[in-house]
């Protein structure tokens, strides 16, 4: 019996150690990531440069279901890391099973574009402006303030009552007040931090700084595809670079629509307003399959389908917003007359634009554990030691197994840290208590007891034998 209970404690403790944890003393590096020197486009505003503290807060917000009205949807529900932050579904499922009207967009290299407007139809004037719109969307996250939904102030009140946001906002901004501006800055910093530059294309471009020369690491087919992508028609090219310019493969801010004018779930309506595409990097994941259907209406489920579309742009008289570059001579639309080999080459080239790091790198991963919990450790050891107002006795020290705490009745949180600032033990207590510390290895630890009513803190170092 004793063995079993020991095992249970051990498993419990292990769980504390490996479960969703943000260590404020050991942040991921977001602010000085390697950006290849040939990348020159950057839409980061002067006033919202990426910093590790704020981006860490942004990561938590991005994955937090508390940002939706009924605690079921996070940004990451529709922007999944395993799919380059897009959604394999054509139409994403939002609040109460409602579906989005357009396909979710990949969030890769969003920072590296000339275009500063966001969404397929460019209705958001900046990323900062974009990121809180899904929260205020009735279908997506439900804090719209209309249709009987709560409004954004209610979200702020909700987040303000959550312990880890008190810590994280304070850590990121120097005080724990929450407002929309702070949420916007944190979420957009996190999204701008998501970058992918470990593709075969990047390897090749580093080896051969001339974009037009064949890349030494490419197959002849991939090099042919690259030429087709770069060269304009009618000179044997497919003209893709005219709107998706390398090496960022971001969208030309001045393009009109590309002839894809469908509306999800309708066979009769048209939507002429979509003139933005995410970067064409990471269309496919490392195993070569698509990170979700393509285009605003998710109508294309293979790269070949995309290439066939540009090979012969549909001539729809209803489309008075088709870009000039996709018009042919006379009243015709673009007809590239690509051969089967050329189509395959273009497809092979598009596949070289994918990296592998973004799909698994922990810095962009879900910080919550499976139960939706998160613990924030570190960054807390600087709290003033002598502020505790109640009389307290803690003995013995050194301690072998049980540590006794004598303390008047109240509401306290007990934490034990190692000297690296990691929390190893956490328990709520309400007065006198005996802690069984058998589980700790020999060494020096810090005991911290927080009075949850006054937020005053007692600290004591102790030795475990």
Structure tokens at 78: 């529709």
**Does 186 help bind ligand HEC (rule: CB under 6 A)?**
no
Task: Out of 27, 187, 290, 449, point to the residue binding ligand HEC (CB under 6 A).
Answer: 187
Measured CA angle at 136 (ends 133, 140), to 5 deg: 90
Structure tokens at 61: 């917000």
| Interface region with ligand HEC, contact rule CB under 6 A, candidates 33-41, 43-51, 293-301, 418-426 | 293-301
| Interface region with ligand HEC, contact rule CB under 6 A, candidates 15-23, 37-45, 318-326, 456-464 | 318-326
CB of 100 to ligand HEC, least distance (A): 4
| Interface region with ligand HEC, contact rule CB under 6 A, candidates 114-122, 142-150, 198-206, 394-402 | 114-122
Task: Out of 138, 296, 343, 464, point to the residue binding ligand HEC (CB under 6 A).
Answer: 296
* Rounded Cα–Cα distance for residues 334 and 353 (Å): 25
Q: Which CA distances in Å does 252 have to 54, 81, 363?
A: 30, 26, 30
Give the residue with the Cβ less far from ligand HEC, 221 or 418. Answer: 221
**Does 119 help bind ligand HEC (rule: CB under 6 A)?**
yes
**Does 200 help bind ligand HEC (rule: CB under 6 A)?**
no
Give the residue with the Cβ less far from ligand HEC, 131 or 416. Answer: 131
* Rounded Cα–Cα distance for residues 154 and 180 (Å): 11
* Rounded Cα–Cα distance for residues 192 and 44 (Å): 8
Selection from 356, 272, 288 nearest residue 320 by Cα: 272
**Does 189 help bind ligand HEC (rule: CB under 6 A)?**
no
CA 398 to chain CA centroid, Å, is 45
**Does 59 help bind ligand HEC (rule: CB under 6 A)?**
no
Structure tokens at 269: 């309506």
Spatial CB neighbours of 407, under 8 Å, sequence gap ≥ 6: 390, 391, 392, 393, 429, 431, 432, 433, 449
* Rounded Cα–Cα distance for residues 225 and 318 (Å): 32
CB of 458 to ligand HEC, least distance (A): 39
> Contacts by 12-16 with C-beta closer than 8 Å and gap 24+?
13/424, 13/425, 13/439, 16/375, 16/423, 16/424, 16/425, 16/426
Give the residue with the Cβ less far from ligand HEC, 217 or 333. Answer: 333
String of contacts with ligand HEC for each residue 129-168, x by CB under 6 A:
-xx--xx----xx---------------------------
Spatial CB neighbours of 357, under 8 Å, sequence gap ≥ 6: 196, 198
**Does 295 help bind ligand HEC (rule: CB under 6 A)?**
yes
**Does 104 help bind ligand HEC (rule: CB under 6 A)?**
yes
Residues 61-100 that bind ligand HEC (CB under 6 A): 67, 73, 75, 77-79, 92, 94, 100
CB of 380 to ligand HEC, least distance (A): 28
Give the residue with the Cβ less far from ligand HEC, 129 or 167. Answer: 129
Asked whether the beta carbons of 435 and 402 are under 8 A apart, the reply is: yes
**Does 323 help bind ligand HEC (rule: CB under 6 A)?**
yes
Structure tokens at 313: 């742009």
Asked whether the beta carbons of 322 and 256 are under 8 A apart, the reply is: yes
Burial of 312 (0-12, 13-18, 19+ CB in 10 A): middle
Task: Out of 43, 274, 319, 380, point to the residue binding ligand HEC (CB under 6 A).
Answer: 274
String of contacts with ligand HEC for each residue 210-249, x by CB under 6 A:
----------------------------xxx-xxx-----
Task: Out of 283, 345, 407, 457, point to the residue binding ligand HEC (CB under 6 A).
Answer: 283
Instruction: Report, in angstroms and rounded to the nearest whole number, the Rg of the chain calculated over CA atoms.
Output: 27
**Does 185 help bind ligand HEC (rule: CB under 6 A)?**
no
CA 266 to chain CA centroid, Å, is 31
CB of 104 to ligand HEC, least distance (A): 4
Give the residue with the Cβ less far from ligand HEC, 27 or 108. Answer: 108
Selection from 192, 232, 254 nearest residue 39 by Cα: 192
| Interface region with ligand HEC, contact rule CB under 6 A, candidates 36-44, 112-120, 352-360, 387-395 | 112-120
CB of 63 to ligand HEC, least distance (A): 10
Q: Which chain residues interact with ligand HEC by CB under 6 A?
A: 67, 73, 75, 77-79, 92, 94, 100, 102, 104-107, 110, 118-121, 127, 130-131, 134-135, 140-141, 187, 191, 238-240, 242-244, 255, 257-258, 260, 274-278, 280, 283, 294-296, 306-307, 310, 323, 325-326
């Amino acid at each position: 019996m004793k063995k079993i209970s020991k095992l249970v404690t051990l498993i419990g403790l292990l769980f504390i150690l490996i479960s969703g944890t943000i260590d404020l003393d050991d942040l991921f590096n977001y602010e000085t990531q390697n950006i290849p020197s040939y990348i020159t486009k950057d839409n980061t505003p002067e006033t919202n440069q990426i910093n590790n503290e704020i981006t860490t807060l942004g990561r938590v917000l991005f994955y937090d279901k508390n940002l939706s009205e009924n605690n079921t949807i996070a940004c990451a529900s529709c922007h999944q890391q395993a799919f380059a932050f897009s959604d394999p579904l054509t139409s994403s499922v939002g609040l109460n099973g409602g579906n989005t009207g357009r396909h979710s967009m990949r969030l890769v290299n969003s920072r590296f574009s000339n275009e500063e407007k966001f969404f397929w139809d460019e209705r958001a004037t900046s990323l900062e402006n974009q990121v809180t719109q899904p929260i205020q969307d009735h279908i997506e996250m439900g804090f719209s303030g209309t249709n009987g939904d709560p409004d954004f102030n209610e979200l702020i009140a909700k987040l303000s009552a959550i312990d880890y946001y008190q810590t994280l906002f304070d850590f990121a901004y120097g005080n724990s007040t929450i407002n929309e501006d702070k949420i916007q800055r944190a979420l957009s910093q996190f999204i701008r931090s998501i970058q992918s530059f470990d593709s075969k294309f990047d390897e090749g471009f580093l080896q051969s700084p001339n974009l037009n020369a064949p890349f030494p690491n490419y197959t002849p087919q991939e090099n042919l595809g690259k030429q087709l992508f770069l060269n304009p028609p009618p000179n044997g090219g497919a003209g893709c670079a005219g709107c998706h310019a390398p090496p960022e493969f971001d969208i030309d801010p001045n393009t009109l629509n590309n002839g894809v004018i469908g509306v999800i779930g309708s066979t009769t309506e048209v939507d002429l307003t979509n003139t933005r595409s995410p970067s064409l990097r990471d269309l496919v994941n490392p195993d070569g399959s698509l990170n979700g259907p393509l285009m605003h209406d998710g109508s294309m489920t293979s790269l070949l389908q995309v290439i066939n579309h540009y090979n012969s742009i549909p001539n729809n008289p209803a489309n008075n917003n088709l870009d000039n570059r996709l018009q042919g001579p006379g009243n015709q639309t673009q007809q590239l007359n690509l051969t089967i080999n050329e189509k395959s080459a273009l497809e092979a080239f598009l596949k070289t634009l994918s990296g592998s790091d973004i799909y698994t790198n922990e810095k962009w991963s879900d910080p919550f554990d499976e139960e939706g919990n998160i613990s924030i450790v570190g960054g807390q050891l600087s709290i003033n030691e002598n502020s505790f107002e109640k009389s307290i006795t803690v003995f013995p020290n050194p301690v072998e197994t049980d540590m006794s705490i004598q303390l008047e009745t109240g509401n306290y949180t007990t934490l034990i840290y190692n000297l690296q600032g990691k929390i190893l033990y956490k328990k709520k207590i309400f007065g006198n208590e005996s802690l069984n510390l058998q589980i700790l290895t020999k060494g020096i630890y810090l005991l911290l007891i927080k009075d949850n009513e006054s937020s005053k803190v007692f600290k004591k170092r102790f030795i475990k034998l």
